[in-house]
Structure 1
Amino acid sequence: MKKIKKAILLSAFGALFFSCTSNENNLEYQSKKDDASFKTVHVTTHDGKPFNTGDSQITLTRKYVTNPGGGVMMQAFYWDVPAGGNWWNTINSKLSSWANAGIGAIWLPPVSKAQNGPYSMGYDPTDYFDFGNYNQNGTTETRFGSKSELISLITKAHSENLKVYADIVLNHNSGGQSETNPFTGTSTWTDFTAVASGKFKRTYNDFYKNSYGNNDEGSFGGFPDLCHANPYVQDWLWNRTDGVGKYYKNIMKFDGWRFDYVKGFAPWVVNSWNANVGGFSVGEYWDSNVNTLEWWANNANSSVFDFACYYKMNDAFDGNNLNALNDDMMWKRNPYKSVTFVANHDTDEISNKMLAYSYILTHEGYPTIFYSDYEHSLDKNKLNNLIWIHNNKATGNTSILFCDNDEYVARRNGYNGNPGLIVYINNSNSWQERWIETNWSNKQLKDFTGNSSWYPTTQADKWVKIQCPPNGYSIWSINQ
């Protein structure tokens, strides 16, 4: 009798314990659902198409690969790359591996001869048509190499299905001779009539202050400020078939442009270039104000570097406040005119770069990889993994599922049959787990970074628990 009572008692206790444990799981599940659904924010509402840098005017025989997630750009230089004229050859040697990793385009530094000759990074241009083939400013080759080496690089890039973007400096020139300037009453370094190429000769009337006015939107570093209001300057920059833009595109075979210091002149300048020359374009408008970036991009008919995103990532990952990722950015306003980046040759402030790359390579916009990060300082295999995820999984518009100081979870909602992804970023020092709502019922998921070994299956109502490593990220999609 005592044995029977004891068995009944144990059975009742076990049932009660199991019931409590099950209820606790259900309560956790319901709590997580309530928590996450309350914070869900639909960030973008476009139709989900990937960022496309295609140009119907390009008639070359190559065929660019269009990835489901769009393209990735490599900034193929950093400040003060080795001098000596070997940089074009260095880049040439890396093109095949970059293409195999999923890079779709490269951005080169200014390719023409500049005042500082063999030591110049190109941002003080003298002769737009000297690509390292004229002996002027103390050298024949530029810091980066010769014209033939540049052409070889571009040809090799195209054979690898890579687009090539030229860095164009339109705000200012440098390296002219001194001449008497009637508009300033002084001597100015504005005589560019002796440029070795013999093309686009300039004098004082092609720079402010001149007959067209005293100034434009901004000057830089005391260099002569090019006057885009002058029809002669317009002709040589974008109208003439043998002018800068059309020569670079049709003869040198560049596919697009990165415009330097566009704060220094009105957006109609880039708009006119784009209308007359074509090709992809992005402007360096160094400003964190999203309204300003959007204004410039719309008026220039161009993409713009997303400095708003850059500074918010710095606040989020280095300031230990992932709530900053809820703030406004250019890619949220218009993902088709946003070029995102983690570092470049001018600014390199974010220290937790892998979290930042996991962010830009899973979200909308046109992400840029910085050469120094890829080739020198970060884990190339991890970056290649993120590039693959971007190209193959980062599709559709974006919904933020959860965000606080330490955790950020967002969902790319998929496009054209591609399921999209869930990205989980964890800025804390311990593993984190979270219930989130997916777009998939009864589907097994996989972390495509390999950072988690879980293979969870979504429930019938599309909810699932995922995890993220400390100071790391995981990226989930259907295991297929």
Structure 2
Amino acid sequence: MKKISLNLKQITTYLLGWLGAVLLITNCTTKNEVQPNSADKPLLNQKTAVSNNAAGSGRDVMLQGFHWNTWQHGTWNIIKNSANDIRNAGFTMVWFPPVSKSTGGTGYLPNEWYNINSDHGSGSQLRDAVSALKSRNVKSIADIVINHRVGTTNWADFSSPAFANNARAVTRDDEWGQGTGNYDTGDPYNAGRDLDHTYSSVRTETTNWLNWLKNDVGFDGWRYDYVKGYSGYYNGLYNDATSPYFSVGELWPDITGNYFASGNGVNYHRQRLMDWINSTGNKSTAFDFTTKWQLMLAVDRSEYWRLRDTQGKPIGAIGWWPKMSVTFIDNHDTGPSPGGGQDHWVFPSNHVEKGYAYILTHPGTPTVYWPHYFDWGSNLRNKIKSLISIRKSQGITATSSVSIQAADGSKYAAIINGNTAMKIGGGSWSPGGGWNLAASGSGWAVWTR
């Protein structure tokens, strides 16, 4: 995604708009910012006093409840009819696609926020799916698209809800050319109108809608889409106003320079994730794109040394702040979807088992992609189910300890939580006596004691 370039006038306008937002909003915390660094030490701000950082219980396992084409088959009914399987697999949360009426398809160009009759199904079917999960103690996480929006019939004739001034709700550097709001606080998104979150009406309507999704429809938390498009400060405000059980932001950092970088050479990437978390006031988790990047290279190139940083910790965001990191192998954007999909950054298909053996035994909150569990056959499904069961029975959490035992050209091995050992790769390794083999597959094994 291309970067936005601001001149002095734009920067001044943005700063004045931001200051106005602070003065208009009550009961909010001070924005905390950090700058990227190059050393193998994160610049974190974990001391901010927050009553709820929306990181869940620490014992959660999330299922992405859709792929790029599930809307063609009735997503809400699919989730409802799979509720027993979801619970029995050990998932505690399901991430729903965007629920509002949109210009079509998966839902990432929403127009009428309160109109939940979408291509995924009717509003009543959505409520039934959420209720089916709730009755089984599985929480529902809504995909929240508030970086941008499209008009009801035109570029920016917003309705359900309208803003106090629809033109004022659009950033002035939006490609529409008629927005009268402040300059964008993040990267542009050309497929929809970039919303100006410095505008009080945008904040009010966003907060009202989120509370409606939570209190009326029954959602428990948020997955914020394309958070690089606006300041994370506002995600913190919205979480303050809605108290979600769980919140995660999709901050997909650009890979700059060498794609095959490792060690300290990837720290800028995971620092971007830390910076965004800090910008929310430490009130939201973030998807761990750094772990995905390095894990893909490790398994595909037999370069397992990538998975250990120079401090002996896991290389991704989980090595710096596991509580606030959400791991995954693929999603609707990066991975394959039945019937064709985005395929932007596909995890090597012959190594998917190894990928899940890693994230389901490691700290962070792991996420499983719907097709991997429901569409790729019973063998992979049973492996994932077994790994989730081990994670739960061994008490592995988002903050469990990791002691890396080996990371070289043929294998990666670690002991997690002191009671679970794992290995991926073709190289030989064993945890020694007193351990029992709990699960294994193509190029991986897990032991317990």
Cα gap change, 1:268/1:82 in structure 2, threshold over 3 Å: closer, same or farther? Answer: closer
User: Aligned pair 1:81/2:66, yes or no?
Assistant: no
Corresponding position of 1:474: 445
How many pairs were matched up?
A: 355
Q: Is the 8 A contact 2:164 2:201 kept in 1?
A: no
Cα gap change, 1:248/1:319 in structure 2, threshold over 3 Å: closer, same or farther? Answer: same
Cα gap change, 1:296/1:56 in structure 2, threshold over 3 Å: closer, same or farther? Answer: closer
User: Aligned pair 1:356/2:355, yes or no?
Assistant: yes
- 1:283-324 superposed Cα distances (whole Å, 9 cap, x missing partner): 000016011101101221210000000001111011221111
Cα distance in structure 1, aligned partners of 2:426 and 2:145: 39
Corresponding position of 1:381: 382
Cα gap change, 1:226/1:91 in structure 2, threshold over 3 Å: closer, same or farther? Answer: same
Cα distance in structure 2, aligned partners of 1:409 and 1:149: 45
Q: Secondary structure at the match of 1:97?
A: helix
Q: Is the 8 A contact 1:363 1:394 kept in 2?
A: no
Cα gap change, 1:321/1:56 in structure 2, threshold over 3 Å: closer, same or farther? Answer: closer
Corresponding position of 1:318: 300
Runs of 4+ in 1 over 2 A off after TM superposition: 54-57, 175-178, 197-202, 210-216
Identity of aligned residues (%): 30
Cα gap change, 1:265/1:80 in structure 2, threshold over 3 Å: closer, same or farther? Answer: same
Corresponding position of 1:464: none
Corresponding position of 1:402: 406
Q: Secondary structure at the match of 1:191?
A: coil
Cα gap change, 1:477/1:269 in structure 2, threshold over 3 Å: closer, same or farther? Answer: same
Corresponding position of 1:71: 60
Unpaired runs of at least 5, structure 2:
1-40, 43-50, 173-178, 256-268, 310-314, 336-345
TM-score with structure 2 setting the length: 0.75
Cα distance in structure 2, aligned partners of 1:246 and 1:292: 29
Corresponding position of 2:156: 190
Cα gap change, 1:246/1:358 in structure 2, threshold over 3 Å: closer, same or farther? Answer: same
Cα distance in structure 2, aligned partners of 1:373 and 1:342: 10
CA RMSD of aligned residues (A): 2.4
Q: Secondary structure at the match of 2:412?
A: strand
Partner of residue 250 from structure 1, selected from 215, 233, 256:
215
- 1:317-376 superposed Cα distances (whole Å, 9 cap, x missing partner): 112211111133111111110000000000022111100000000000000000011111
User: Aligned pair 1:299/2:279, yes or no?
Assistant: yes
- Pair member with larger Rg: 1
Cα distance in structure 2, aligned partners of 1:392 and 1:294: 30
Cα gap change, 1:200/1:166 in structure 2, threshold over 3 Å: closer, same or farther? Answer: farther
- 1:128-165 superposed Cα distances (whole Å, 9 cap, x missing partner): 10001xxxxxxxxx111111111111111011110000
Partner of residue 145 from structure 1, selected from 115, 121, 132:
121
Cα gap change, 1:399/1:207 in structure 2, threshold over 3 Å: closer, same or farther? Answer: same
Report how far residue 172 of structure 1 moved. 0.5
Report how far residue 408 of structure 1 moved. 1.1
User: Aligned pair 1:173/2:139, yes or no?
Assistant: no
Cα distance in structure 2, aligned partners of 1:261 and 1:198: 21
Greater strand share, structure number: 1
Cα distance in structure 2, aligned partners of 1:249 and 1:199: 20
Cα distance in structure 2, aligned partners of 1:200 and 1:114: 18
TM-score with structure 1 setting the length: 0.70
Partner of residue 122 from structure 1, selected from 94, 104, 107:
107
Matching residue's letter, 1:447: L
Corresponding position of 1:13: none
Matching residue's letter, 2:403: S
- 1:146-192 superposed Cα distances (whole Å, 9 cap, x missing partner): 111111111110111100000000110113444xxxxxxxxxx1121
Unpaired runs of at least 5, structure 1:
1-42, 45-53, 58-63, 133-141, 179-188, 415-419, 438-442, 452-468
Corresponding position of 2:266: none
User: Aligned pair 1:272/2:237, yes or no?
Assistant: yes
Matching residue's letter, 1:83: Q
Report how far residue 199 of structure 1 moved. 5.6
Q: Secondary structure at the match of 2:151?
A: coil
Report how far residue 385 of structure 1 moved. 0.4
Matching residue's letter, 1:281: S
Corresponding position of 1:237: 206
Q: Is the 8 A contact 1:317 1:350 kept in 2?
A: no
Q: Secondary structure at the match of 1:447?
A: strand
Q: Is the 8 A contact 2:306 2:407 kept in 1?
A: no
Matching residue's letter, 1:354: E
Corresponding position of 2:343: none
Cα distance in structure 2, aligned partners of 1:365 and 1:215: 31
